[in-house]
Amino acid sequence: MNHYSNSQISAYFKCPRRYKLQYIDKVPVPKLAKGVEALMGSSIHLALQELYKQAKFGNILSFEQVSQIYLADFDKSISDELIIPRPGLTPEHYRNNGLQMISKFYEANYPFQQSQTVELEYRIRFMVGPYPFVGIIDRLSLDQQGVFEIHDYKTSLNLPTIETIEDDTQLALYLIGIKQNYDPKTEAKLYWHFLYFQHTYQLTKTEEELKQLEETMVQKIRMIERDPYYLPNESALCDWCSYTDFCPVKTPALQPPETPDEVLEAVDEYVEQWRALQALKQQAKKIETFLSEAEKLIIEYAKQHELTQLAGSKATLPISESWQYQFPLSTDKGRKEFEIWLKEQNLWDDVSSLNTPRLNKLLKDGRFEPETYEALMAFSQMLHKLEIKKVIFSEKQEEESD
């Protein structure tokens, strides 16, 4: 890759196949009609860009001037092919929504001198570990104390929680870039402006948080580069994908034209055995439920009469009594202190076990130092796993299987 971006890495974790088609194979796709929400967002960004561009040189545009910039850009892109995702709404609805967002933002921030604009639509280049990154900052400014402000305008009709914003990596990555391009010791405030709600989130990031983020992104990129298959991930996002013509999930033409008889027979036999297994599981569940209830009844009777065994007409059941210690679970208070004590006593290796799914999650979340990560990778290999997740029946077959 010549460079990476936050959106590019996010694309991989949504669908590895689309990532490969778009960023590795660079497959050209027909230009699709623009969505009305994207049109509204780009027109708002253009209007605010011009507003702060003029304000930077002391020329404060009136609201009418700003709104005309927005309306002119929005109106020129309206066509019959414009995608409207919400039934019953019209382009005029979104046009007015955008105008209302600009109006409230203008009123709340006039005369736009709270901070000094440094860059607008700033294409920033920087390094994350050994990897080059790029990004676009909507507005970069300096407050009166010389602290950088990174502003991002959001026109979404959904307001995320503060937890979601804290986990957002986009502006934090830009902060890494600001430190590299300006001053490593510089401070910055991160602003997410949700214009529809006129709500702004403001956060800062510590050096430790930025270091952890950088390590996480490096590990994610290495995971992407180690993927030999880039398997498709079918989801609701498929309906909005530009690459469905090249995806085996959505295009039957990419599948083998004929399936051998032995494979068809294997599919049918698989389904029959699957049905049998489900029936056995249901029966096993009923038996386990009965055994559990019966065991409670038998043990309670034995306790009342101080019995160590109980005889029936077919067999005798011994009643044993034992004691065991309960230690703090992973979610319990005091667990961390318990683990520290075990390690101090050199008992950790004796009582812990390797949890492979947990280890995989820690790797994906970027929880290891680079040296530890590299050491773990030396023991790993990429496992290509294909499995049948479920059996899909027609409605009639589903009723029969029930």
Let me know: does 246 contact 21? Beta carbons within 8 Å.
yes
Let me know: does 214 contact 129? Beta carbons within 8 Å.
yes
Peptide bond between residue 318 and the one before it cis (omega within 30 degrees of 0): no
Using only C-alpha atoms, the chain has a radius of gyration, in whole angstroms, of 30
**pTM to 2 decimal places:** 0.70
> Buried b / exposed e across 171-185, counting CB within 10 Å, b at 16+?
bbbbbbbbbbeeeee
122 pairs with which residues across the strands? 137
Cα 187 to Cα 239: distance, rounded to the nearest angstrom: 42
Beta strands in 220-318 (DSSP E): 309-311, 316-318
Cα 196 to Cα 147: distance, rounded to the nearest angstrom: 27
Cα 228 to Cα 210: distance, rounded to the nearest angstrom: 30
pLDDT in tens, the chain (402 residues): 789 999 999 999 999 999 999 999 998 876 655 788 888 999 999 999 999 999 999 999 999 999 999 999 999 888 777 777 777 888 899 999 999 999 999 999 999 988 999 999 999 999 999 999 999 999 999 999 989 999 999 999 899 999 999 999 999 999 999 999 998 888 899 999 999 999 999 999 999 999 999 999 999 999 999 888 898 888 888 877 888 888 888 776 666 667 788 888 998 899 999 999 999 999 999 999 999 999 889 888 988 898 888 888 888 888 887 777 777 777 787 888 878 887 887 777 766 666 677 777 777 777 777 777 777 777 776 665 656 666 666 555 555 555
